Chain A
Amino acid sequence: MVFKKNIGDLTVIRNLRLNQRHFLLELQSEKPFPVMLPGQFVQAFVKDAPVTFLRRPFSIHAVNFTQNILKLLIQIKGEGTRHLSTLREGEKLNLIFPLGNSFTIPHTKEVLLIGGGCGVAPLLFLAQFLNQQQIKPSILLGFRTKDDIFEIEEYSRYGKVFISTDDGSEGEKGLVVDHSLFQKERLPFKKIYCCGPEAMMKFVDRIAKFHHIDCEVSLENTMACGFGVCLCCIAPTDKGNERVCTEGPVFNTKRLAGW
């Protein structure tokens, strides 16, 4: 599917600090949104940040198509994201969107979404989308600690939420792959969608492959352009090096070389 790419200013209508490292930007467009699907991302221009040169890619966290509101869930990692965390209501943010491919529509209702840390971001939009297809997914979210947890009630609107934390301060203790959901001979899922740190996604994929469950992951990658021309953000696949920004960011793990 080919998506028409837009470039333009959106207005910040809310900048909500979720915890020490994460914030939520709500952006409103004057123009109606184009078609956008879960898994796709935006490239945000960081204005007046002296050491930030390139745009910053963020997956689309949620979309309200009737009010033209788009949400980004952002982890503060460096100067660019720190600068964006200071955006105030009424300020503009220039975006190129929507970019990349999307998660595919599952041929089953037995669906599990797995997110780790900031990787939970695209899964809210995905859960919302799956609900529209009459699918209530199971949603397993992993965090470092209780204080890192955010927006659980949002995810709960679309499916049954399971939590794991590294220190056991909320939900089950351990990594998402240690969760009791997986301590069964046969897992009640036919499709897994996963986004998070690469090591976590590889662990999840091993479980998926062991149980013959189809698995899609959203890869994170440093990008220059985000729309397919710089060839910087590549991932090795069964077709050679492919662009994470264009052929991805969502890949079926069957296609990823070395997984």
Chain B
Amino acid sequence: MAELAINIAGLNFRNPVTTASGTFGYGEEFLDFLDPDQLGGIFVKAVTGKNRDGNAYPRMAETTGGMLNSVGLQNKGIDHFCREIYPKIRNFNTNIMVNVSGSTIEEYMTVAERINELDDIPAIELNISCPNVKLGGMAFGTVPAMAREVTAAVRKVYHKVMMVKLSPNVTNITEIARAVTDGGADVITLINTLLGMAIDAETQRPVLSTITGGLSGPAIKPVALRMVWQVHKAVPVPVIGLGGIMNATDAIEFILAGASAVQVGTANFIDPQASIKIIRGIEEYLTRHNISSIRELIGALRTDV
């Protein structure tokens, strides 16, 4: 049997398949469909300093090969997470990573500091890339100096594995990747959603209440693959790739491009068992290609003629 286990920044993953923040709730919502302990890890829904009600309805538009959302980081805040959610999920036998969001550097620091105290959360994913909030979010992830500043500030108060999730809405992704690496990121996750919009021609109005939103799903996979490949070559830190992964072949493509692990996102909405099927599919791929460990495949893209 091929080896699926992998170590990323000192953290052991039983396989390279994790679930993306905002698409997997807090994990509990999937207990009727799968055993979370079979996953490499779970990135839980974004947590902010205070309760956020998110954006007005409509927040979703189906598009060709994907969907737009403008949820806007709806969550009940860090106190609620620590008190109500954490006790319910801390005993999952998989890596539980929390997506940390905010409008100010202080808010990111406050949330990260609180999560640092939670024994069973081995890592955070700093979300400097949400396109659906007016303040902060993506603003931090599109200017290199700001990306470095917020990463370095959180680094001071967070002492476990710090991942930083990048926005694809930039001209040069490697600049941002270098900036967060300088700021102390242990791992880079990418990509968050691509800024997009949908219009209803009949009503001559935007579909989303926020006019623009974040595009996810297979439509964005080629962009995500390109960025994972560029970042993998540009920085020494490991990369976790996401963007439109629907099946094991998609996951393998990200790993070949340089991802040490992948996140399954929008696919969870259509097939809540997608992540488990992807694990089985990767296993079959490795066996079929006579590869003994998934590690051999990371960045193994053949670009020779």
Measuring CB to CB, which residues of chain A are less than 8 angstroms from any residue of chain B?
4-7, 45, 51-55, 96, 221-236, 240-241
Contacts and interface: CB of A to CB of B under 8 A. Distances in A.
A234 B57 contact: yes
Given A53-B62, A53-B67, A55-B270, A234 B29 contact: no
Nearest to A6: B32
Interface of B: 22-25, 29-30, 32-33, 45, 51, 53-54, 57-67, 69, 71, 74, 217, 266, 268-273
B58 to A, nearest CB: 6
15 contacts: A4-B32, A5-B33, A6-B32, A55-B270, A222-B62, A226-B269, A227-B29, A228-B29, A229-B268, A230-B60, A231-B22, A232-B60, A234-B74, A236-B57, A241-B53
A96 B30 CA distance: 12
A233 B63 CA distance: 16
The 7 A-B pairs of least Cβ separation, nearest first, read A232-B60, A229-B25, A225-B269, A5-B32, A224-B269, A231-B71, A232-B59
Nearest to A243: B74
A51 B64 contact: yes
Q: Is the interface of A mostly helix, strand, loop or mixed?
A: loop
B274 to A, nearest CB: 11
A78 B54 CA distance: 28
Contacts of B272: 7, 96, 225, 227
Contact of A7 (B24, B33, B71): B33
Contacts of A226: 269
Contact of A224 (B24, B65, B69): B69
Contacts of A51: 64
Given A229-B24, A234-B54, A54 B32 contact: no
A109 B141 CA distance: 59
A53 B69 CA distance: 14
Contact of A230 (B30, B57, B69, B271): B69
B54 A53 contact: no
Contacts of B270: 45, 53-55
A113 to B, nearest CB: 26
A235 B74 CA distance: 13
A221 B56 CA distance: 13
Nearest to B19: A229
A249 B9 CA distance: 43
A230 B20 CA distance: 11
Nearest to B61: A222
A71 to B, nearest CB: 23
Given A53-B270, A224-B67, A224-B266, 4 more contacts: A221-B57, A229-B24, A231-B59, A241-B74
Contacts of B65: 53
Contacts of B53: 240-241
A231 B54 contact: yes
B33 A234 contact: no
Contact of B269 (A52, A54, A234): A54
Contacts of A6: 32
Contacts of A53: 62-67, 217, 270
Nearest to B25: A229
B67 A234 contact: no
A228 B23 CA distance: 9
B71 A230 contact: yes
A1 to B, nearest CB: 14
Contacts of A232: 59-60, 69, 71
Contacts of A227: 29, 272
A228 B25 contact: yes
Contacts of A224: 60, 67, 69, 266, 269
A235 B57 CA distance: 7
Q: Choose among A7, A221, A225, A233 the residue with the greatest number of B CB atoms under 10 Å from its CB.
A: A225
Nearest to A227: B29
B268 A225 contact: yes
B273 A7 contact: yes
B185 to A, nearest CB: 27
Q: Choose among B45, B51, B59, B269 the residue with the greatest number of A CB atoms under 10 Å from its CB.
A: B269
Contacts of A236: 57
A229 B61 CA distance: 16
B67 A233 contact: no
Q: Choose among B32, B58, B64, B217 the residue with the greatest number of A CB atoms under 10 Å from its CB.
A: B32
A54 B270 CA distance: 6
Contacts of A4: 32
Contacts of A231: 22, 54, 59, 71, 74
A51 B107 CA distance: 40
Contacts of B22: 229-231
Nearest to A52: B62
A258 B285 CA distance: 54
Nearest to A223: B60
B269 A230 contact: yes
